[in-house]
Amino acid sequence: MRLRRQETRLSMMIKARTTLVYAAMIGAAVGVFFWIRSAGDTLLAPAGPGTFGQHAPRESGVVLTHVLLALVVIILCARGLGSVFRRFNQPPVVGEMIAGILLGPSLLGRVAPGVSAYILPTSVAPYLSVIANVGVILYMFLVGVELDTNLVRGRTHASVATSHASIISPFLLGSTLALWLYPVFSTREVPFVVFALFMGVAMSVTAFPVLARILTDRRMHTSPMGAVALACAAVDDVTAWCLFALVVSVARAHPGDVLVTLGLTAGFIFAIFVFVRPAAVWFARRHDERRVTGQSSIVVACAALLLAALATQRIGIHALFGAFLVGAIIPHDSVLARDIKQKFEDLVVVLFLPTFFAFTGLRTQIGLVHGLRDWLICFLIVAVASLGKFGGGAIAAWLTGLGWRQAASLGILMNTRGLMELIVLNVGMDLGVLSPTLFAMLIIMAIVTTLATTPVLHALTRTGEEVAVGPTI
């Protein structure tokens, strides 16, 4: 007890001595600074431009406040609605897409315009646009990293027929539909060929990541039908994005520059696969052998994807194509790919993609679709899109020897559009190909076709799960 008392007294003495030393240090610092100040008052500096005291405009601080507030609201709403949709066996990304629409003029701007004007004023739209575009570039890079190119090279006859049919059929139906929609929703500034090509591509897109997530959630990704579906979606993805790059290059280039743009695009793709891909494989191998640190690898990956995005943007096609190609040449089963996914995915999914959805929501005005005629046209767009993807894919799969239930399951999976469709539509809006009304109709089509996938697939496999899923491979 006596020893403990002595230790306590010694500890208090040390604390008191430390406090005194600290106070003396602060006092000495204050005294020295006042001496420096008194000495400096006698100095005379040359005249300046007279900008001292002119603070940054208050508006910049206000905009930053609104941007930060908007990001908080966007993240929370996207995560909350995504969780709700997960409970109903829907991919969370569908809820996040709808959350972005609801935060725009379609709902919040209509029922609470004051709240909407404060949370998402028009002044934040350019900043959200930059964040959204960066997010899309990073997301497409991740899609490329996760893409198993072996599925594209080692595809079966069923995969070839189904994927090509699910591209050609909706493309032709969408182009045919353009004959009716062009004089109704477009202008003479937009060449019909660009409008028709864009409508064809918009009908042809399949959301490979959403499809893969649906198959994984239903434990169908290792089944024969699941493997065929992933192969079809991979082929579909690559074909659709190449076709989309062609459409964007035609839309952006002047009539005399189309061939130049296409030539530069072909040269870029050739350089990526002939020169950059071997370097990416070598670098991934060195990373796997731990000869390169994790941060160094991420720096190289970021520099490569940004340079590729910059190159495709300068060529005249969208920056996301360059990022996608760089991701696709990284071996998807390497440690490097796994590390990239771990470091990128959470930030992209939690922050960037909800911002993209919200930015899309700000541009979507469902109220523009009004009256019986508009809703009939909207219904026709959904029907044509579904008929092209589901019908074309299912019939082709059935003709290759799959049972009708498996063929129908494959067709409905090909009809999943999700985020990929939103990316295509936003590019079309930026290029001026789509009017706000048609943009809203196509957004509705993307949401409806994606929402329909899970319940229709459940209905098809509920009574014949063993037929649809089969043995694992």
The model's pTM: 0.81
Domains and CATH numbers, the chain: 132-352+370-469 (1.20.1530.20)
* CA-based torsion, 315, 320, 326, 329: positive or negative: negative
DSSP string, 319-345: HHHHHHHHHHTS-TTSHHHHHHHHHHH
Scanning 253-370, the segments in alpha helix (DSSP H) are: 258-271, 277-288, 294-315, 319-328, 335-347, 353-363
For residue 355, give the nearest of 142, 86, 115, 136 by alpha carbon.
136
Residues 6+ apart with CB under 8 A from 424: 201, 202, 205, 244
Phi and psi based region of residue 79 (left: phi greater than 0; alpha: psi -120 to 50; beta: remaining): alpha
CA 311 to chain centre: 19
Q: What pLDDT, on a 0 to 100 scale, did the predictor assign at position 461? A: 74
Tokens coding 306: 């940004």
Q: In tens digits, what is the pLDDT along the chain, a chain of 473 residues?
A: 667 777 777 778 888 888 888 899 999 999 998 888 888 888 877 776 666 555 555 566 778 888 999 999 999 999 999 999 988 888 888 899 999 999 999 999 989 999 988 888 888 889 999 999 999 899 889 988 887 766 655 555 556 667 788 889 999 999 999 999 999 999 888 989 999 999 999 998 887 777 777 776 666 655 666 777 777 777 777 777 778 888 888 887 666 667 787 788 889 989 999 999 999 999 988 888 876 667 888 899 999 999 999 998 888 788 888 898 899 899 988 888 998 988 888 899 899 999 999 999 999 999 999 889 999 999 999 999 999 988 888 888 888 777 788 888 888 888 888 888 898 999 999 888 999 999 999 999 999 999 988 888 888 876 544 333 333 22
Asked whether 419 and 210 are in contact (CB, 8 A), the reply is yes
Rg (alpha carbons) of the chain, rounded to whole number: 28
Maximum Cα interatomic distance, the chain, rounded to a whole number of Å: 99
Tokens coding 162: 């189904």
Asked whether 37 and 29 are in contact (CB, 8 A), the reply is no
